[in-house]
Structure 1
């Protein structure tokens, strides 16, 4: 009897393990799919995952998907978006790796200090900041992560290129003369815009504007730009640095007026003047520091981009998307 019991137990145990194996074969693919993120790029051994990629594209993709563009144009815009986001993620990966080489670190305390500084400058409470971030489709942690990236990149720029940037007095004076009109008036424009790839659709938007419909409402409905959810708000600008076509069109406007449809490198656009800020003119000496800083930032950006390109040439980059 005891022997029979042992045989039964062995059979039961055997079938139990067989069942586990069979279940394992059927469940493993699903478990793996849930626990292992897909790799969409490898940059010198540093991986970029599908989750990272989707997180970066999500906000912009939604704006495109709800726009009035044709399906064909939407696909083209999304393809272009995917390409640019992937390039950005590759750049971020390279800068992270270089930061490690230079032993550059950003502490939580530094990130918190930077966030608190933003809150102070913008006069925002923690609750107000988080609400504003939510409207942009960001969590507070994602915002902290973006602040960390900015600080990291700023320090990397300091190590890699800032020492190579020199601005001469002659360059500053030349820039002042080129922008003589700007420094004579100090005028700045608070602008909104509508951006579309489809000419017929932006003409439709323009028709609605001509019929007194609200610009912000139309921007939210039609524009494919990332700022569409903000009613097309771009912020305040000195338009002297704009391309001639855009600058000349805006310069003719008064507060509350908008341009005709303008064809630009980004697509077809309409600009709206929310307000015009009148400033006092500046002499060369008064404008000197401002111009120097502007030229400095331009050169730093150019040299950093050149430096990044050189990194890309040397790096082993494999795109798997």
Structure 2
């Protein structure tokens, strides 16, 4: 492997997403519009949940947290990418890269765990409705959210500290549009195969386990609902579960494909496309999937729009 500058103070160069000549401006415009739509959609949902008393329930408390995470999630990558494009520069400082990687890991882990807790909320509401006020009390909801943030922060801190104390070689060109751990490993001068096993383990715990819990929860929910024989209840349950499952599937499948694959199987072009899906598209879709298919949210929106 090429050797060169190993100092911690050297900047990184982000290859970026815009590498298509005359398509640069078009792609930049599309990404900027998606960023604006994501912010407007999530801010509207957060504001609506705060204002409307009918939405002051555990389900919408968790949804409020998801919207906050999504706003921060997309803001971690897009503004820097836009600034680099407008200023015709592709550099990011060593410290800036470390902070971006750490924040991105924290938010990604938080979203993965939170989506799992949201499926637990729906499972309790439909399968154990009499115990719902106890099992999903305000205190328990706050504990779930606190556990989500703390565990994902610790995981992100451990990975960031380890990766950024490794020796980086050569020109430090990151073939990505932001600093993400898998995209930084090819720049390391040491053998990272053992560390890749740690990344795989973290991905299985933080991503795969919640996804399997979601699938199991909704399988149980659908079994219980269809046994009831109520057409209206079945319709509501299927609508709620399908909305959440759509969001979860898009997020988990794409992130799992990045964080549970060996480094030898990574392709920079494919990684960037997949990263767009879970870091940009998912935050854009979340508020619309949860609001447009939810009568309570749409009713609250109509009330507050007069």
Interval of TM-score (by shorter of Structure 1 and Structure 2): under 0.3
**Higher RCO, 1 vs 2 (CA within 8 Å, ≥6 residues apart):** 2
Find the structure with the greater CA-based Rg.
Answer: 1
TM-score under structure 1 length normalisation:
0.26
Greater helix proportion: 2
Greater strand proportion: 1
TM-score under structure 2 length normalisation:
0.27
